[in-house]
Amino acid sequence: MYSVTKIKTFTGMEGPGYNATLLRDGKIVALVIDDASGGPVRYEWGDDHQPRVKAPFRNYDDTIGNMNMSPEEAKWNQHVIEQPKYKYNGKMCTMTPDVYLETLITMAKVQDRVKRMLVKGDKILMVDDGNLATVKIRAGDSVMDATPRIQARYPKAQILNGMPLDKALAIAVPFLMPKD
């Protein structure tokens, strides 16, 4: 499973750019850099010193090619090749490494946003009537004190505060991820 951490954003020549750390199963495999110059994302693989392996990768024209790459880069490319198509502007598109990386970065940012909402302690985060919503709690109240009152006011709502974090994230994140 791939994820990203240590995301640092900045403004570049062609818009926003970033540096981030790419992880596989919680271990650092690469530093990724989008310098916002209009070109592709640059990957600095942690195992770049290892002997090269011939492995498949997806070209931007949706063909599969082979080239020599580091073992971690080969695993990354194989993982991306195995991803399903995604919808963009009403059209089905094949996943590329850069698009998949952007998805991971967006997911990490959304997860951080939800964590901050849950930890801050001044709002109840809930799903009510198919929507993610927040309810500000009274000054001086704790989330624990406010939860029964909010639950009584919104009896059908699923309150995320107090849930195990992984469960709360699984419920909240899909509401905040960009749609097509």
Question: What local confidence, expressed as pLDDT, does residue 119 receive?
Answer: 83
Position 14 scores a pLDDT of 86
Rounded Cα gap, residues 142 and 54, in angstroms: 57
Q: Which long-range contacts (CB under 8 A, 24 or more apart) does 19-27 make?
A: 20/105, 20/108, 22/76, 22/101, 22/104, 24/72, 24/75, 24/76, 25/1
Spans of the chain, pLDDT less than 50: none
The pLDDT of residue 77 is 95
Expressed in percent and rounded to 5, the helix, strand and coil fractions of the chain are 30, 35, 30
DSSP structure class, residue 26: T
**Cα–Cα distance, 155 to 98 (Å, whole number):** 43
d(CA 149, CA 161): 13
pTM of the model: 0.83
Distance CA 127, CA 135 (A): 11
Query: Residues with Cβ < 8 Å from 140, sequence gap 6 or more?
Result: none
Report domain extents, the chain.
Answer: 2-105, 121-176
Token couple for 22: 């790419």
Predicted pLDDT of residue 174: 87
